[in-house]
Structure 1
């Protein structure tokens, strides 16, 4: 298995992930981890975010597991649909609370990230959502997972799965990541031996 040299790349959402966000806590706990850095956290620009993800993937050593939240999930979908050259480096993606930037009441700063690419992702992925996320209905979260060919895990009453909804260290999420890693590596080993 490749777990010893894998790199965890954190892809924050709108305004980045503050010091008490689970992504920030995970970055201090996960070995070989880094995060994307954009110039437009507060007024997101799609080109900036996709280019930042591209740079971070190119710079990371070893196979990569993406850990994205909210607008970061949409960025991953855009990158995967338009930048085929580095997709082979990605072992998998944990996509938490993908934001529906096409909803009627979306902040105008985020609307430029639509339409959301709905092509199957070319790597294993797990979408984690909530039944009461104000940024995306459960139907839309299910739709994203279906179109991306992702596994889906719904958490009851978890809001946007961020620090505002009480998800700071989010140890249950770390367990989900470890289960996803194990599942992904097991299936990867089975494909190689087939």
Structure 2
């Protein structure tokens, strides 16, 4: 069985966000729950991913946005460091990972520092915009190279969230199906 796990970012994904819309359209998608959406504390958010994945059997596709995408990479790095398997991860969609290390990063997300720069042990697609206020295009290229991610650039997409017009986002479904081998199907 294939599992799809959304990992929202700082302040969670609201009702108009593309992750929420995906969850409404595909009931098999599970959202990671964090104890404090206003504080993306590095270890707490890693633990949230671990707790969500623990009971699952079968392959998993991780779908992260902003600080959620960052948490996925940090979780993978911690698994590698602790010799914990990530073999059941089919791949990850990392959308607009926030550059928490940037000097102008929001104060509230700096608690997630530092970014992991380790290669991911599973395939990934990093989607970035050429005008994201939380991730420069230069940094997106550096992160994609470090993580071994395929990089997709969206022109004028901002932070690729609902405030930038990303509610219903068909490309996310295309990319998830690319990663999963066309396993995301409406129930």
TM-score between both structures, scaled by the size of structure 1:
0.88
1:28 pairs with one of 20, 24, 34 = 24
- 2:161 and 2:55 map into 1 onto residues whose CA distance is 27
1:180 CA displacement = 3.1
Decide whether the 8 Å contact of 2:90 with 2:180 is kept in 1.
no
In the other structure, the counterpart of 1:55 is: 51
After superposition, residues 103-118 of structure 1 pair within 5 angstroms as 103-118=102-117
1:149 has 2:148 as partner = yes
1:114 CA displacement = 1.5
In the other structure, the counterpart of 1:43 is: 39
In the other structure, the counterpart of 1:140 is: 139
Decide whether the 8 Å contact of 1:57 with 1:86 is kept in 2.
no
Size of the alignment, in residue pairs? 180
- 2:57 and 2:18 map into 1 onto residues whose CA distance is 23
What are the ranges of 5 or more consecutive residues in structure 2 without an aligned counterpart?
183-187
1:41 CA displacement = 0.3
In the other structure, the counterpart of 1:167 is: 166
TM-score between both structures, scaled by the size of structure 2:
0.91
Q: Which aligned runs of 4 or more in structure 1 are off by greater than 6 angstroms?
A: none
Which structure has the higher relative contact order (CA within 8 Å, separation 6+)?
2
- 1:180 and 1:91 map into 2 onto residues whose CA distance is 7
- 2:178 and 2:42 map into 1 onto residues whose CA distance is 31
What are the ranges of 5 or more consecutive residues in structure 1 without an aligned counterpart?
184-194
In the other structure, the counterpart of 1:69 is: 65
RMSD of aligned alpha carbons: 1.6
In the other structure, the counterpart of 1:187 is: none
After superposition, residues 125-136 of structure 1 pair within 5 angstroms as 125-136=124-135
1:108 CA displacement = 1.7
- 1:91 and 1:180 map into 2 onto residues whose CA distance is 7
- 1:173 and 1:50 map into 2 onto residues whose CA distance is 23
Decide whether the 8 Å contact of 1:131 with 1:137 is kept in 2.
yes
